[in-house]
Amino acid sequence: MSIFIDDDTRLVVQGITGRDGSFHTRQMMEYGTRVVAGVTPGKGGQDFEGPGGERIPVFNAMDEAVAKTGANTSVVYVPPVFAADAILEATDSGISLVVAITEGVPVLDMARAHAFARDKGVRIIGPNCPGLISPGKAKVGILPAQIVAEGPIGVVSRSGTLTYEAVFQLTNVGLGQTTCVGIGGDPLIGTNFIDCLEAFEFDSDTKAVVMIGEIGGTDEQEAAVFVKERMSKPVVGFIAGQTAPPGRQMGHAGAIISGSAGTAEEKIKAFEDNGISVAQRPADIVGLIQDVLK
């Protein structure tokens, strides 16, 4: 099994005719994801050519694309100034999942988009995220497919690059993944650690979870309590930004320490206090996962 995406995923690419959208659409199709439509306002009626010569219809609007193709998922490769409107349009179209790759979306815009999605019962992953991949089933976003393999480990991370590092190391020792989810590093995101942990807990094929956090905010601390109180499966953690100076943004917009609750030390302590094995370095993740699976 997997979480959020699977063999039944029917994907619309918003911004399919742009540079990033077209490149990653072909990558997703090569992996086997069923891309059924693209949306670019003003370019409706055109076709997008896939890597094998497939012709993907392009529509002007999401509602038309969903109505004509039966799509259930959208991925957003739209410039920041237009991204929130694209997410709102996708949310209103009848699909169940929106994956927002775009970085730099204004927080106030996303506050409105997230509130609208909650009212509609639509899940948003991101923005400012690499998306997700369920090995052997579907890829939605920009995660490199060549580093994943099918297996029993769930991965959820705020950091795209560290997701790749952890997955690469797991695959190299024969520990494949059920789903790898990059939730994004913005201050306001649609799907958080707890959402993913809960989904992994109910996924029968997931036997253990890797959770990669970073400085800033309190999501990791809240997730740690959830692990102790609600999860039966072992969780291994890592916190990035252990040497970051207070008050300075380090990479992601949400990776800024504002008080003791956002420090790496406080997050690591929360993990350890709630029974989560903590890797001191990304290279230690594999050993900890092997230990908890014994």
42: nearest Cα among 58, 15, 63, 60: 60
CB 236 within 8 A of CB 213: no
Q: Within 13 Å of residue 248, how many CA atoms lie on the same side as its CB?
A: 7
CA-based max dimension of the chain: 57
Residue 126, token pair as written in the block: 């991101």
Q: Show which residues are catalytic.
A: 252
Helix axis angle for 80-91 and 62-69, nearest 10°, is 40
Q: Please name the residues in contact with 224: beta carbons below 8 A apart, sequence gap of 6 or more.
A: 237, 267, 270, 271, 273, 274, 276
64 to each of 44, 50, 57, 61, 75, how far by Cα in Å?
10, 21, 11, 6, 16
Determine the length of the chain.
Answer: 294
Alpha-carbon distance of 162 to 214, in angstroms, equals 10
